[in-house]
Amino acid sequence: MNLTPDSKSSARSAECHRNDDERYLSIRQASRRLAGPLSAEDCAIQSMPDASPVKWHLAHTTWFFETFVLGPRQPGYLPFKPLYRVLFNSYYNAIGDRHPRPERGMLSRPLLEEVLAYRDHVDAAVLELLARRPLPNETAALIELGLQHEQQHQELILTDVKHLFSRNPLKPAYQKQWPLTPIQSRKSEWISVGAGIYEVGHSGPDFCFDNETPRHRVWLDAFRIASQPVTHGDFMEFIEDAGYRRAELWLSAGWDVATARGWQAPLYWERRDGAWWSFTLHGEAPVDPHTPICHVSFYEADAFARWAHARLPTESEWEAAAGHASLAGNFLESGALHPLALREAPGDGMLAQAFGDVWEWTRSDYGPYPGFQCSAGAVGEYNGKFMSGQYVLRGGSCATPSSHIRATYRNFFPPDARWQFSGLRLARDAE
Amino acid sequence: MNLTPDSKSSARSAECHRNDDERYLSIRQASRRLAGPLSAEDCAIQSMPDASPVKWHLAHTTWFFETFVLGPRQPGYLPFKPLYRVLFNSYYNAIGDRHPRPERGMLSRPLLEEVLAYRDHVDAAVLELLARRPLPNETAALIELGLQHEQQHQELILTDVKHLFSRNPLKPAYQKQWPLTPIQSRKSEWISVGAGIYEVGHSGPDFCFDNETPRHRVWLDAFRIASQPVTHGDFMEFIEDAGYRRAELWLSAGWDVATARGWQAPLYWERRDGAWWSFTLHGEAPVDPHTPICHVSFYEADAFARWAHARLPTESEWEAAAGHASLAGNFLESGALHPLALREAPGDGMLAQAFGDVWEWTRSDYGPYPGFQCSAGAVGEYNGKFMSGQYVLRGGSCATPSSHIRATYRNFFPPDARWQFSGLRLARDAE
Amino acid sequence: MNLTPDSKSSARSAECHRNDDERYLSIRQASRRLAGPLSAEDCAIQSMPDASPVKWHLAHTTWFFETFVLGPRQPGYLPFKPLYRVLFNSYYNAIGDRHPRPERGMLSRPLLEEVLAYRDHVDAAVLELLARRPLPNETAALIELGLQHEQQHQELILTDVKHLFSRNPLKPAYQKQWPLTPIQSRKSEWISVGAGIYEVGHSGPDFCFDNETPRHRVWLDAFRIASQPVTHGDFMEFIEDAGYRRAELWLSAGWDVATARGWQAPLYWERRDGAWWSFTLHGEAPVDPHTPICHVSFYEADAFARWAHARLPTESEWEAAAGHASLAGNFLESGALHPLALREAPGDGMLAQAFGDVWEWTRSDYGPYPGFQCSAGAVGEYNGKFMSGQYVLRGGSCATPSSHIRATYRNFFPPDARWQFSGLRLARDAE
Amino acid sequence: MNLTPDSKSSARSAECHRNDDERYLSIRQASRRLAGPLSAEDCAIQSMPDASPVKWHLAHTTWFFETFVLGPRQPGYLPFKPLYRVLFNSYYNAIGDRHPRPERGMLSRPLLEEVLAYRDHVDAAVLELLARRPLPNETAALIELGLQHEQQHQELILTDVKHLFSRNPLKPAYQKQWPLTPIQSRKSEWISVGAGIYEVGHSGPDFCFDNETPRHRVWLDAFRIASQPVTHGDFMEFIEDAGYRRAELWLSAGWDVATARGWQAPLYWERRDGAWWSFTLHGEAPVDPHTPICHVSFYEADAFARWAHARLPTESEWEAAAGHASLAGNFLESGALHPLALREAPGDGMLAQAFGDVWEWTRSDYGPYPGFQCSAGAVGEYNGKFMSGQYVLRGGSCATPSSHIRATYRNFFPPDARWQFSGLRLARDAE
């Protein structure tokens, strides 16, 4: 499958963010810093077709600037290595041939140090371009798109390296110290939202991906939504109540997948001496019941909701409910790299942990909004062509850069994907 | 995959149709009549996991009455053969074990004649039950559900035997005479529908499947919809314009499927001496450009629409537009067993061929309506558990019994399915 | 895999058997008689790619006479149906296209009755040809080859229908009455054979397949061979001694196969209430410990031998030891269709049950004898091209026609094949 | 598949080679030197399940000494890391669990530098053991076995890294300079060998693997064998004569493999502008017609021989003919790392290039010699359990250490393997 997470959108905003050198360099350097704890070997290996080597992420994000910004817009720019155009193309048919996705792990060459030199080369050229103000709007928009794209890959670097390390019997830790203090979780409550016409989707001058547009009206029946995400503790109850063995709780396709792959718990869990452990970016750790559940597929989220006499919210419901929630949360920058227990409750009727911690599966398949138009040109392949067979997740996770998220943001993955920090929040029809 | 078309819903209507002996016998006998042109060998073979042997359809529809009606509601009823409970269970986990779907073609026994005896046995018992009036409402509803279920399998008998015969180099004809007179097709026009709140879904005392409920409100932006389905002639233009070789027209997942399976034309098409032929239930025949296209997947329908600078309608749009169209059309009873060219245009602003001829793919994934509740008990497995990974089709086909269809009817198949009589109708945003 | 059992050799003998009408008709009618207990449905289904539908066997053996005898040697002969040349070609590239082996079960048409008419048509033409004496030697040789070929397919009809019936939860019996009287088996003894140069392979005027030639010298070290085949009782000891769970007893490739497929016992065995049952052509029956083991693969035979501190004989050893054994035995004609316990011991130093009952796996891969030459023409594809990846079995089984076997006969199957009546006899190096 | 080349036999010789420190260190250091031109990334990646990462080879050969020598025979020895016992076990069931072969490429940790430290640790302990003379015979034999084992992996390091680099569009060179001077090849001649009883297999005090024993008698009919291996030029004629498209030249299993995988030429070949290029350890180079063909499977070798109206020799024939040939040749130490053209002819009736350049496929499946006994204990798994489904190759290649080969040496690979330096030499029956 080509369901590639390294892919979210084309710039819409007429008036883009201020893209000065600082912002550019700060985001680019953040990627490199993520590779800091890793060896060249760690960066070279691909642990499954859905994941990519860290080295590939570092090169592909650079290729994005070279291909979409420097090539067409920097006169006289010479590609660092012509063959990289093929090697580091993810899925842009309009750009031409590409190295097959499942073979990204075959590339011991270029070496990590060569990829870092490639980054330096391209950064220098982009900075040169940035120096020539005023920047045409379209160039500025493409640079902004490149930076947003880079942030998406920062999250993937973490989830992909977590998957790689989980396959190693030595269970390496990406980050040694365990930053989490156990905290008692609060009890979730139901928040009611009334029926009516709502507006969802993005509008305005700020950056967004094309798939968030146009802002449009939807009718929503009254519903209730949980004040907090489902926790690891909640999910352990589901397991103990034989949730993984009761076909009646599952979608048929989910049951088939769960049976065929022998799922008995979320990804990375292991039972030892009667206790649940899970593999984290800090190595193995006991499952903390007070933190939001993660590494569950859409199918597991859906089955859990049915078990809880609830359902997943639609993405419109989620957006209507979360639109006024605080954007603060546990993001990549916290360094926790793991969902955390809720410390303080938000105001009455406000969603807690709507942003950060874990992506929340919705009941909505990922499709075009009414009136949706793809961006023109090759960057139009960013989002539109993936609009089948996937489900929408909302709110960002502990691996998302904090400046990357907003209420209208639509992430999407196939219903069996589990290696992202994906969890859920319950909803119910109005009483 | 267990995405099984032999599966569409549980009775909702408190007050059911009049289910007298005549109606029961007439529908049951229609199934048997469909097997008339077939040998015992034709009825025994399974040509792919998605299809079932005709003999299995004849037995499974009988099993439905035995299991859901006679077993629980006819005191003293003895199962015809206890092992049939397993052999002919399609996917009801609540009923217990079942013979694996891909192995349905291993069952040379029971012989066709034994399955026919099974039908006689069950029919006699149901008629006896029907004689004991007044029938409890719930029993009547289950019998009605069984008859609707039987009609669904009548369509599948035809599509499955078509697939089987297509695999045989001898190209057998299910029905020898070719009933079609070439007719010049009319030009399709755009019909405009205004924005507003619409009600979709079923309500009222008539039968419907649970997945059509509850009737609910949706907001629709203004849109346009084609007065007629896309024709074989339209689709040949798409092929000649390299539609199957241009990645930019396709959803990514569709492109992967089309490439992997080498799709160059709809299912059953073959090019000989520069002309297109297709395999039909009457044997091979030249493709008639004036008839509605069929045997295309959702992916092909979507790519065609993009090529035509249009899109597929959502199921709400389809229902809003087709709600007042005539239910008359080319159904199973016409004996054509193939889509026909449009003979006369409907009134101004009315959809032509909305019902019959070909199922029309919509842009909507098959999911639960707001407030949807599965039916209670084992028949609750009829629809709800299939609500992921499939797309909705509307309107019925030339293989659908005419009394089986209505505007709110939701059929559903995975996006790569092609062996049903599946076509499409175009839509566009309002100008 | 194309490792096709319907394939064993081309006529060598200059002076063939007397091929009069009687012999021809008697062998042809025997095939048809084997289909007697079967319905048209039983004859149409293919239960796995290695097996073929009975109807296909009946047609393919007829095709053999039409293609190799009538076409080239009966002037003016018109093929029954031209398309049959493709449909019923097993693997002869020189003849042209062929219907894919795994699709043989898609052919509901031609109907069984049409295939029987095909047989009648070809039989009439062959009898006409036989009437024109004297027959050229080459024609006579091809007719003899066709009859030997037919006999091979008679065995396959039985093993393939057994496999089909075993897949049906109704467990149908090919033959209702159980003909076996339990008999106490005799104890096997070691027979010593001295070192020296031996001659193996066929020579002389009688029929043989090309793979049995030329007769040639081999050096054999002294060895011992068991007087009887291994019995079901012996094999149950192996199972109880954890034979299927001890990697050290198995060839590495065998262990991988056994593990991947979950083998815990020979094919068709099932444990119920602590007792072993096996599926036979007479339906299910308790495993009789006194009868020769069958339905084991080469890998299981080899593992059993290692467990018994013995080994399989090479095919030269087998032939050297069995050369003087009686050809009498439990063959197809006995009607038992199952291996039987030994009734009386042969003379001192003579192998018992060397012929009939079960094919005996040898340690020899199936390769060319020194000086081997394929037959010329398309029939040269009969044997030679299968000389890799298979192992030799000797002696015939309870499903082999008695007139079909001899000491030099080389049967061959891949090491994981289990659906033939395949067993083993132990050997050891000299003390 | 578990057909593992890192596996060839256990020490037989009662009186072993002199195993002093020098020999030990020289062989151990040679492995490390082979990794010299490689980066840590090059050493970490596994390019297919049959191949292993270089880092794994370096660790596994070390594991062999730790597990079979130090553990049982060095009192007080502490394993470097207990988990390595599992990680670097190749296929020894008797040792316990092992990391799955296809997952060897998941091990970014231990880092290459940690593996080198592991080597140092074990080397120090072995040298300490060697210092305590006199060494028990059995210990000496196990150390010798470990060194022979190490040499086998030296060859695999080269063939595996060649395969990895071939998958990279950058086409990296393992060694930059191209050492080959084109030389006109000599014409091959037929050498006749008379019929009679021959002795084959190893005897005597020198080291050999258990699969070379016991030395035993075979009868050979008279035959002829080519004085030289088949060359690249010979093979190009086969290709031009449509050798890859003529089914009649191929074994049936070979034809299926060649068709399914689209083979049109040996592994690593590519046609550009009408000329053949091949990927070598020096990067891409034009195919030199005068050098021995390599990277062909058994199936291709067999088809070539049939096309040339010849056959492959049996392994007994090869050994009988090559027994007196010079052991000198183009081995690993020459640094060519590619087969070379023949420079000078050997004496009359002597085989040229019997040793070095390319392994030569024989017609013999890899099985036990008469009287063969596995070595006792875990090292008994070295050879015996692989004796099915593989063919014997003889003579060593340009990647084999020169001190590792002898006339009785039996290498073995599955018939579809192509990534070794495997070629062939023709044979014919006597005229």
Q: Which residues of D177-198 are buried (b: 16+ CB within 10 A; e: fewer)?
A: eeebeeeebbebeebebeeeeb
**What is the per-residue pLDDT across D3-60, written as a single tens digit (0 to 9) for each?**
233 333 333 333 334 447 899 999 999 999 999 999 999 999 999 999 999 999 999 9
Q: Are D407 and D322 in contact (CB under 8 A)?
A: yes
Mean pLDDT of B82-101: 91
Q: Are D187 and D198 in contact (CB under 8 A)?
A: no
Return d(Cα A127, Cα A129) in angstroms, integer: 5
All residues of chain A having their beta carbon less than 8 Å from the beta carbon of residue B254 are 388
Residues 305-344 of B with CB under 8 A from A: 311
Considering only CB atoms, A388 lies closest to which of B386, B388, B415, namely B415
pLDDT at position A6: 35
Nearest by Cα to D266 from D298, D311, D312, D225: D298
Three-class DSSP category at D409 = coil
Return d(Cα A198, Cα A287) in angstroms, integer: 39
**Looking at the predicted structure, is the pLDDT value of residue A310 above 50?**
yes
DSSP string of C1-51?
Answer: ----SS-------SSPPP--HHHHHHHHHHHHHHTTT--HHHHH---STTS
**Looking at the predicted structure, is the pLDDT value of residue C377 above 80?**
no
Chains B and D touch (3+ CB pairs under 8 A): no
**Looking at the predicted structure, is the pLDDT value of residue D69 above 80?**
yes
All residues of chain B having their beta carbon less than 8 Å from the beta carbon of residue A254 are 388
**What is the per-residue pLDDT across A218-258, written as a single tens digit (0 to 9) for each?**
999 999 999 999 999 999 999 999 999 999 999 999 999 99
Considering only CB atoms, B44 lies closest to which of C45, C87, C109, namely C45
Whether C97 and chain B come into contact, CB under 8 Å, resolves to no
Across the interface, do D368 and C363 touch by the CB < 8 Å criterion?
yes
Mean pLDDT of C176-188: 75
**What is the per-residue pLDDT across A28-57, written as a single tens digit (0 to 9) for each?**
999 999 999 999 999 999 999 999 999 999
Nearest-neighbour CA in chain C from D401: distance (Å): 27
Mean pLDDT of A60-75: 94
Q: Are C156 and C6 in contact (CB under 8 A)?
A: yes
Chains in touch with D (3+ beta-carbon pairs under 8 Å) read A, C
Considering only CB atoms, B111 lies closest to which of C39, C47, C110, namely C39
Can you state the angle between helices C232-240 and C298-307, rounded to 10 degrees?
A: 70
pLDDT at position B147: 97
What the block records as the tokens of B138 is: 């719930």
Can you state the angle between helices D137-166 and D21-34, rounded to 10 degrees?
A: 10
**What is the per-residue pLDDT across B168-226, written as a single tens digit (0 to 9) for each?**
999 999 998 776 676 777 789 999 999 999 999 999 999 999 999 999 999 999 999 99
- For chain B, the average pLDDT equals 92
Would you say how long chain D is, in residues?
431
pLDDT at position B180: 66
Three-class DSSP category at C316 = helix
Confidence of residue D414 (pLDDT cuts 50, 70, 90): very high
Whether C172 and chain B come into contact, CB under 8 Å, resolves to yes
How many beta-carbon pairs below 8 A join chains A and D? 85
**Looking at the predicted structure, is the pLDDT value of residue A361 above 80?**
yes
Q: Are D390 and D365 in contact (CB under 8 A)?
A: yes
Q: CA triplet A34, A38, A43: central angle to 5 degrees? A: 90
Across the interface, do A363 and B368 touch by the CB < 8 Å criterion?
yes
What the block records as the tokens of A369 is: 């909004």
Sheet holding A283-286, edge to edge: A269-272, A275-280, A283-286
- 């070719």: which residue's tokens? B178
Sheet holding C283-286, edge to edge: C269-272, C275-280, C283-286
- For chain C, the average pLDDT equals 92
- 């295309």: which residue's tokens? B296
Task: Out of A133-137, C166-170, D30-34, D147-151, pick the least confident.
Answer: A133-137
Return d(Cα C397, Cα C386) in angstroms, integer: 21
- Give this complex's ipTM: 0.94
Three-class DSSP category at C278 = strand
pLDDT at position A4: 30
Whether D264 and chain A come into contact, CB under 8 Å, resolves to no
Nearest-neighbour CA in chain A from B149: distance (Å): 19
Nearest-neighbour CA in chain D from C91: distance (Å): 9
Nearest-neighbour CA in chain C from D367: distance (Å): 8
For residue B329, the tally of other CB atoms under 10 A from its CB is 22
pLDDT at position C180: 66
Would you say how long chain A is, in residues?
431
In angstroms, the Cα distances linking B423 to B243, B334, D92 are 16, 19, 58
Three-class DSSP category at C129 = helix
**What is the per-residue pLDDT across C114-145, written as a single tens digit (0 to 9) for each?**
999 999 999 999 999 999 878 999 999 999 99
Task: DSSP letter for A295, please.
Answer: S
All residues of chain B having their beta carbon less than 8 Å from the beta carbon of residue A253 are 1-3, 386, 388-389
Mean pLDDT of C63-91: 93
Across the interface, do D103 and A167 touch by the CB < 8 Å criterion?
yes
**What is the per-residue pLDDT across C389-398, written as a single tens digit (0 to 9) for each?**
999 999 999 9
* Residues near B400 by beta carbon (within 8 Å), at least 6 away in sequence: B151, B155, B331, B332, B356
**What is the per-residue pLDDT across C225-272, written as a single tens digit (0 to 9) for each?**
999 999 999 999 999 999 999 999 999 999 999 999 999 999 999 999
Considering only CB atoms, A251 lies closest to which of B250, B253, B387, namely B387
**What is the per-residue pLDDT across D212-223, written as a single tens digit (0 to 9) for each?**
999 999 999 999
**Looking at the predicted structure, is the pLDDT value of residue D276 above 70?**
yes
Burial of B344 per CB tally in 10 Å (0-12, 13-18, 19+): exposed
Minimum CA–CA partner of A303 in chain B: B385
All residues of chain C having their beta carbon less than 8 Å from the beta carbon of residue B40 are 39-41
Across the interface, do C385 and D219 touch by the CB < 8 Å criterion?
no
Chains D and C touch (3+ CB pairs under 8 A): yes
Considering only CB atoms, C365 lies closest to which of D3, D250, D365, namely D365
Between strands D359-365 and D422-423, the pairing is: parallel
Which among A290-304, B77-91, D317-331 has the top mean pLDDT?
Answer: A290-304
Q: Are B310 and B331 in contact (CB under 8 A)?
A: no
Return d(Cα B126, Cα D351) in angstroms, integer: 87
What the block records as the tokens of D24 is: 């030990």
pLDDT at position B382: 83
This prediction's pTM? 0.94
Confidence of residue A348 (pLDDT cuts 50, 70, 90): confident
pLDDT at position D6: 35
How many beta-carbon pairs below 8 A join chains A and B? 93
Whether A247 and chain B come into contact, CB under 8 Å, resolves to yes
Q: Are C304 and C230 in contact (CB under 8 A)?
A: yes
Q: CA triplet B85, B87, B89: central angle to 5 degrees? A: 65
CA B382, distance to chain mean position in Å, is 15
Return d(Cα B141, Cα B139) in angstroms, integer: 5
Among left, alpha and beta (phi > 0; psi -120 to 50; other), residue A363 is: alpha
Considering only CB atoms, D45 lies closest to which of A105, A170, A172, namely A105
Return d(Cα D333, Cα D355) in angstroms, integer: 13
How many beta-carbon pairs below 8 A join chains B and C? 83
Chains in touch with C (3+ beta-carbon pairs under 8 Å) read B, D
Return d(Cα A295, Cα A398) in angstroms, integer: 12
pLDDT at position A376: 79
CA D203, distance to chain mean position in Å, is 22
Considering only CB atoms, C109 lies closest to which of B86, B109, B168, namely B168
**What is the per-residue pLDDT across B348-362, written as a single tens digit (0 to 9) for each?**
789 999 999 999 999
All residues of chain C having their beta carbon less than 8 Å from the beta carbon of residue B111 are 39, 41
- For chain D, the average pLDDT equals 92
Residues of chain D with pLDDT > 90: what percent? 82
Whether C83 and chain B come into contact, CB under 8 Å, resolves to yes
pLDDT at position D348: 79
Confidence of residue A179 (pLDDT cuts 50, 70, 90): low
All residues of chain C having their beta carbon less than 8 Å from the beta carbon of residue B283 are none
Q: Which residues of A323-345 are buried (b: 16+ CB within 10 A; e: fewer)?
A: eebebebbbbeeebbbbbbbeee
Whether A107 and chain D come into contact, CB under 8 Å, resolves to yes
Three-class DSSP category at B73 = helix
**What is the per-residue pLDDT across B247-271, written as a single tens digit (0 to 9) for each?**
999 999 999 999 999 999 999 999 9
Across the interface, do D168 and A108 touch by the CB < 8 Å criterion?
yes
Would you say how long chain B is, in residues?
431
Amino acid type, D349: G
pLDDT at position A251: 97
**Looking at the predicted structure, is the pLDDT value of residue A323 above 90?**
no
Nearest by Cα to D202 from D426, D413, D414, D9: D9
Return d(Cα C257, Cα A262) in angstroms, integer: 21
Can you state the angle between helices B298-307 and B232-240, rounded to 10 degrees?
A: 70
**Looking at the predicted structure, is the pLDDT value of residue A379 above 50?**
yes
DSSP string of D135-196?
Answer: PPHHHHHHHHHHHHHHHHHHHHHHHHHHHHHHTSTT---SS-S--PPP-PPPPP-EEEE--E
Reduce the secondary structure of B182-241 to three states and give it as a string: CCCCCCCCEEEECCEEEEECCCCCCCCCHHHCCCEEEEECCEEEECCCCEHHHHHHHHHC
Backbone angles phi, psi at D185, to 5 degrees: -80, 160
**Looking at the predicted structure, is the pLDDT value of residue D184 above 80?**
no
Mean pLDDT of C362-366: 98
Q: Are C140 and C19 in contact (CB under 8 A)?
A: yes
What the block records as the tokens of C253 is: 């490739």
Task: DSSP letter for A377, please.
Answer: S
Burial of B36 per CB tally in 10 Å (0-12, 13-18, 19+): exposed
Residues 6-65 of C with CB under 8 A from D: none
- Number of C-alpha atoms within 13 angstroms, CB side, residue A209? 28
Amino acid type, D338: H
